[in-house]
Amino acid sequence: MALQLQQISFEYGPTNGFAVRDVSVVIERGSLTGLLGPNGCGKTTVLKLMAGVLRPERGTIAFDGRALADIPRRELARHIASVPQETHPAFDYSVLEMVLMGRHPHLGTFALEGPGDLAIAYDALAGTGTAHLAGRTYMSLSGGEKQRVVIASALAQQPDVLLLDEPTASLDLAYQLEVAALLARLNRERGVTIVVATHDLNLAASICRTLVLVRGGRVLAQGATDAVLTGDTIRQLYDVDADVRFHDRSGHLTVVPIGRIR
């Protein structure tokens, strides 16, 4: 397995209560897992715990059988990469410079990128369909282009695990489909283990083979997408009545919200 969380609890402060409590999740190597739940349920916190950005108050997290807390930060960054909801660089770097930042965990102190690092960066750009943007400035890009460039930077880390927080948020429909297709291809062709936190149930249904449903900081259900994504679980998760059925033309489950039930 790639990541294993056992009975994880975390709080941001004694007055705020637990953001997640007694969470146990297994992320199998090579899987594409969706992390679903309402606002404030703990999805982003779980991703940060998986990335080692946060450390649990209780419980253990292991990567390939090693305790995450025992892995040095630079070494961990060579295995696990994160793509946040939004990226705001301090300077208006070029696209190539943004992607080369993903090589930093592989460089020694004061070392500069060499030909090998450039080749990896260009491969990451090609893999995300952004090679033609290499000379552009990051801030001149559209939202969908920026998202693909940030994913390219994460790929340049050559990680085993890629964690994404709301990768299609604020994107129009065309870019949502583009990013979804990109993630599915990276998982299928490059074997990258992917965990994606999202509110988009149809995105999760289209690309994720397994789901973890989180509400109130606890895991409500987890397992194969076809088994977990049902009208009943959506009702428990969001207090929403929804029609869930297999769509022949799309080839996967689709979710149509009907209305709130409370």
pLDDT of residue 175: 84
**Same-domain check for residues 171 and 248:** yes
Write down which residue in 158, 180, 210 finishes a domain. 158
**Same-domain check for residues 74 and 200:** yes
Assess whether pLDDT exceeds 70 at residue 239: yes
Confidence of residue 8 (pLDDT cuts 50, 70, 90): very high
For residue range 109-164, list pLDDT tens digits in order.
767 778 999 999 999 999 999 999 999 999 999 988 999 999 999 999 999 999 99
Cβ 215 vs Cβ 237: under 8 Å: yes
Average pLDDT over residues 175-203: 92
3-class DSSP state of 12: coil
Residue for token digits 């489909």? 177
**Same-domain check for residues 154 and 167:** no
**Tally of domains in the chain:** 2
Assess whether pLDDT exceeds 80 at residue 16: no
pLDDT of residue 253: 92
Type of residue numbered 142: S
3-class DSSP state of 106: helix
Confidence of residue 1 (pLDDT cuts 50, 70, 90): low
**Same-domain check for residues 96 and 178:** no
For residue range 43-80, list pLDDT tens digits in order.
999 999 999 999 999 999 999 999 999 999 999 999 99
Q: Phi and psi at residue 238, in whole multiples of 5°? A: -120, -5
Confidence of residue 170 (pLDDT cuts 50, 70, 90): confident
Write down which residue in 143, 158, 173 finishes a domain. 158
pLDDT of residue 34: 97
**Same-domain check for residues 122 and 170:** no
**Same-domain check for residues 15 and 68:** yes
For residue range 195-235, list pLDDT tens digits in order.
999 999 999 999 999 999 999 999 999 999 999 999 999 99
* DSSP state for residue 108 in the 8-state scheme: P
Rounded Cα distance between 168 and 85, Å, is 9
**Same-domain check for residues 70 and 176:** yes
**Same-domain check for residues 107 and 231:** no
**Same-domain check for residues 111 and 186:** no
Q: Which domain CATH number covers 21?
A: 3.40.50.300
pTM: 0.92
**Same-domain check for residues 33 and 65:** yes
Confidence of residue 100 (pLDDT cuts 50, 70, 90): very high
Write down which residue in 114, 139, 158 finishes a domain. 158
**Same-domain check for residues 68 and 182:** yes
| Domain with 153 in it | 86-158
**Same-domain check for residues 63 and 166:** yes
